[in-house]
Amino acid sequence: MSATIDMMGDAMGTPAALIPGGSRDADAAEQVVAHVRGLIERGALRPGDRLDSERGLALHLGVSRTSVRAGLRWLAAMGVVQTRRGAGTFITDGPPTLVSEPLRLVAALHGLDLGGLFEVRRVLEAGTASLAAERATPEQIATISDEVTGMYSALHDPQTFLDYDLRFHRAVAAAANNPMLGAIIEAVAALFFEQRRATIERAHNLRESADMHRKIYQAIRARDAEGARAAMHEHVRLAQIAQASDDAPLPSGARS
């Protein structure tokens, strides 16, 4: 968990961005973050545990409640804590999550285009498919199969097809049984599918895409790690070509 906080801190800055005060207030907010991080690292706080109240944290740390709120908002933005109305603030339960906003900002800052995003996907998802072939449980394989079936049922409904597509990639990532890898892929996929939703209506051949997903599934089901890696790599490569084609402007005579 501490690695998550450190990494995301580099991407989004410090709690200073969340409070209007000067450096003293920022230092106090960072003290709240450091306190929670220390409790997590020592095992005193685990997923699902409830934090002390704002008042309790303020008294314990000797900071204002405004600083406590700023620190907790920063932790919430990183997916470390979540606030439940009327119940308090809790350490996030379930698999780890990384919010995509820091990646979106970094991509904008460094001019990462769609081609660069596809390159990231090829590197991450090909290896993940290979791990899924080695580690997937029968239940996880069945889930992947269900998403492929859903794609074929939605060949004439591009937006629904895209939903199945996203769930397929999530299912493959989950089948790798490495929660941190799954969280990274989820954050990257969120950026891609957010852009793809704007162009999916112009997709030329959804059946070809469904066939590629089925090939990945078949390799995973067959426990063929190298076959799954190659199939996923080829799928992402062809998806990049298809995306470029769908993004191309229509000839003037073809526009409505």
Cα dihedral 88, 92, 78, 16 sign:
positive
As given in the structure block, the two tokens for residue 76 are 């919430």
In a domain, 124, yes or no: yes
- The top-scoring range by mean pLDDT among 89-103, 117-131, 234-248 is 117-131
Domain at 34, CATH number: 1.10.10.10
What helix, strand, coil percent values describe the chain, rounded to 5?
A: 70, 5, 25
Confidence class of residue 173 from pLDDT cuts 50, 70 and 90? Answer: very high
In a domain, 161, yes or no: yes
Q: Using CA atoms, how far apart are residues 242 and 105, in angstroms rounded to an integer?
A: 26
Same domain, 76 and 114: no
Which residue in the block uniquely carries the two structure tokens 């450096």?
A: 23
Same domain, 153 and 180: yes
In a domain, 96, yes or no: no
Residue 250: count other Cβ atoms within 10 Å of its Cβ.
Answer: 9
Tell me the pLDDT tens digit for each residue of 225-245: 999 999 999 999 998 888 777
Which of 69, 91, 113 lies at the terminal end of a domain, its last residue?
91
Same domain, 112 and 132: yes
Which of 67, 91, 115 lies at the terminal end of a domain, its last residue?
91
Which of 91, 116, 148 lies at the terminal end of a domain, its last residue?
91
Whether residue 139 is predicted with pLDDT greater than 80 in this model: the reply is yes
Same domain, 10 and 87: yes
- Asked if 210 contacts 136 with a C-beta cutoff of 8 angstroms, the reply is no
Cα dihedral 31, 65, 73, 86 sign:
positive
- Asked if 70 contacts 19 with a C-beta cutoff of 8 angstroms, the reply is yes
| Domain interval for residue 45 | 2-91
- Output the pLDDT for position 183: 84
Same domain, 78 and 122: no
Same domain, 71 and 109: no
Same domain, 215 and 107: yes
In a domain, 253, yes or no: no
Beta carbons within 8 Å of 77's beta carbon, 6+ residues apart: 12, 99, 101
In a domain, 254, yes or no: no
Same domain, 127 and 239: yes
Same domain, 48 and 169: no
The alpha carbon of residue 36 and the mean position of all alpha carbons in its chain are separated, in whole angstroms, by 23
Planar angle of CA 196, 133, 126, nearest 5 degrees: 40
Whether residue 8 is predicted with pLDDT greater than 80 in this model: the reply is no
Beta carbons within 8 Å of 106's beta carbon, 6+ residues apart: 11, 112
Q: Using CA atoms, how far apart are residues 127 and 134, in angstroms rounded to an integer?
A: 11
Q: Using CA atoms, how far apart are residues 177 and 14, in angstroms rounded to an integer?
A: 31
Whether residue 255 is predicted with pLDDT greater than 60 in this model: the reply is no
Confidence class of residue 2 from pLDDT cuts 50, 70 and 90? Answer: very low
In a domain, 255, yes or no: no
Confidence class of residue 77 from pLDDT cuts 50, 70 and 90? Answer: confident
In a domain, 35, yes or no: yes
- Output the pLDDT for position 99: 58
As given in the structure block, the two tokens for residue 10 are 């580099």
Supply the mean pLDDT for the chain.
83
Same domain, 222 and 146: yes
In a domain, 42, yes or no: yes
Number of domains, the chain: 2
Tell me the pLDDT tens digit for each residue of 13-55: 455 444 445 566 678 889 999 999 999 999 999 989 999 999 9
pTM for the full predicted model: 0.67
Same domain, 169 and 243: yes
Cα dihedral 15, 17, 19, 25 sign:
positive
Same domain, 72 and 183: no
